[in-house]
Amino acid sequence: MRTLFKLPTPLLQTLLLATAALTLTVFYPAQSKGPSPTTPRPPAVHTQWPLSQLLKESWQFYKGRFLVDGAHVVSNTYGGTISEGQSYAMLKALWMNEPATFDKIWQWTKRNMKRPHDHLLAWRWGDGEFGTTKGIMQTENATDADQDIAYALLKAGQQWNRPDYSQDGLNIVKDMWRINVEQLDGHYYLTPGPWPGFKEEYLTINPSYMAPYVYREFAKADTEHATGWTQLANEVYDNLEACTNLTAPKLPPNWCAVRWQNVPGQPRIIFSDKQGDGARDFSYDAFRVYWRMAMDAQLSPSPWRERALAYLKNHRFLLTYWQQHKLMPEGFTATGEPRSEETSGFGMGPLLVLNHVQQPDRDAFLYQQSLGKHYHPDGYWFNDYNDFLHSVIWLHLYALSLPQQP
């Protein structure tokens, strides 16, 4: 979660902007402020390929640079540790088959970020700001992080024969269903979190959280709500399509919403503006849509994987823009205007995904022309201090590495 609803008073805005779960209209810039970068190094003379080697090399850098004591990621933007960062670290450790690393990250997360009255995770753990001691700073849970952590636990339980992980994952899934899933006119929607503003005027939803392959895994584990999780998964494609079609370039916006009631002649899914300027843009939330759809195109069964693939093939604005300009800006507005005049790494993962579904034999070539030019031998792209940028790129590349489904 990267933005917060507009707040009623300047004083409340000031206070919550310092500590709130979704910072008001604050977005990661192309190179976010954070800890001073280490001594600059020249870009790699050669691009790193094959993909498997690139993933391993960049994962090793990530562990050494961003994992404190091998257990938690300190956010260069928010400060402290956020559940989203923990979820990405757990997914990477799972996919890189490092059970010891995974266990260390999960045990720290469970010990320090689990909420006291359920199994969900507080979104932010702090390190003594405003005179407080180390501990949970905001108790709300961020559902994108919780769903990825639960998914990682369920898959780790299977992969490494760890029933304790499976149980921990199931506990999170059950509480997510109880707290974070909203039923509206016979349809299910995942809310971004428990903040009241997400249910004022309309039900706010986030396209970049929509992960059908995750909900199908939940349905297998949470048999009590299997039908609901399956329905939620199956309805993602229409909801994502409706959100995406709100923008002129047919790019997914950072946020959209569902009307509480049907209005004759009006769409049920609309823009959400409660997150302030940029809520309609394609930027720091929406980048992740392409990673999740690329994963879904490989992991969901037919006919749903074809729905994910069709989404990627039909919404190729980024690929067309690259072909025309050889530039990938820091996102686009809802009217299709670039948000920056300089290349940003955040859009390059989606670019590679879109190319992959069109012409996978050119993956290595496009990587060399785009991300490869900004890769450093140590294992990072663009800069060595932005953990979110590193993760967004890495996750898209991982999706490309999955074997093609017949």
Tens-place pLDDT, residues 373-396: 999 999 999 999 999 999 999 999
Sign of torsion, CA 160 162 163 164? negative
pLDDT at 319: 97
Q: What is the pLDDT of residue 79?
A: 79
- What strands, in cross-sheet order, belong to the sheet with 269-271? 202-205, 256-259, 269-271
- Is pLDDT at 40 greater than 80 in this prediction? no
Enumerate the H helices of 67-196 as residue ranges: 83-95, 99-113, 143-159, 163-180
Q: Is the pLDDT of residue 176 over 60?
A: yes
> What is the pLDDT at residue 19?
35
Residue 42 has pLDDT above 50, yes or no: no
pLDDT at residue 129, as a whole number: 56
What percentage of the chain exceeds 90 in pLDDT?
A: 82
Q: What is the structure's pLDDT at 1?
A: 59
Q: DSSP label at 385?
A: S
Q: Rounded to whole angstroms, what are the CA distances from 122 to 91, 133, 155?
A: 18, 16, 22
Q: What is the mean pLDDT of residues 116-130?
A: 86
Taking the C-alpha atoms of residue 103 and residue 171, their distance in angstroms, rounded to an integer, is 17
- Can you give the pLDDT at residue 77? 76
How would residue 126 be classed by pLDDT, with cut points 50, 70 and 90? Answer: confident
> Could you give the CA distance from residue 316 to residue 146 in angstroms, rounded to a whole number?
29
Q: What are phi and psi of 121, to 5 degrees?
A: -110, 130
pLDDT at residue 6, rounded to an integer: 41
Task: Kindly tell me if the per-residue pLDDT of 250 is higher than 90.
Answer: yes
The per-residue pLDDT for 247 is 98
Cα 6 to Cα 300: distance, rounded to the nearest angstrom: 37
Pairing of strands 72-73, 81-82: unpaired
**Domains of the chain as residue ranges with CATH:** 49-401 (1.50.10.10)
Q: What are the start-end ranges of the E strands in 206-271?
A: 256-259, 269-271
The lowest-confidence range among 16-20, 194-198, 265-269, 329-333 is: 16-20
Q: What is the rounded distance in angstroms from the CA atom of residue 69 to the CA atom of residue 64?
A: 9
pLDDT one-digit tens code per residue, 273-316: 999 999 999 999 999 999 999 999 999 999 999 999 999 999 99
The mean per-residue pLDDT over the stretch 72-76 comes to 89
Give the chain's mean pLDDT: 89
Is pLDDT of 20 > 60?
no
Confidence of residue 128 (pLDDT cuts 50, 70, 90): low
C-alpha 290/C-alpha 279 separation (Å) is: 18
Residue 9 pLDDT > 50: no
Q: Is the pLDDT of residue 13 over 90?
A: no
How sure is the predictor about 50, in pLDDT bands with cuts at 50, 70 and 90? confident
Q: Which CA distances in Å does 377 have to 44, 127, 165, 383, 396?
A: 5, 32, 35, 12, 19
Residue 5: other Cβ atoms inside 10 A: 22
pLDDT at 38 > cutoff 70: no
Enter the tokens of residue 157.
């339980």
Give 252's contacts (C-beta < 8 A, 6+ positions apart). 207, 208, 240, 243, 244, 282, 286, 289, 315
Residue 131 has pLDDT above 50, yes or no: no
Crossing angle of helices 387-401 and 51-66, rounded to 10°: 150
300 in Cβ contact with 308 (< 8 Å): yes
pLDDT score of 133:
64
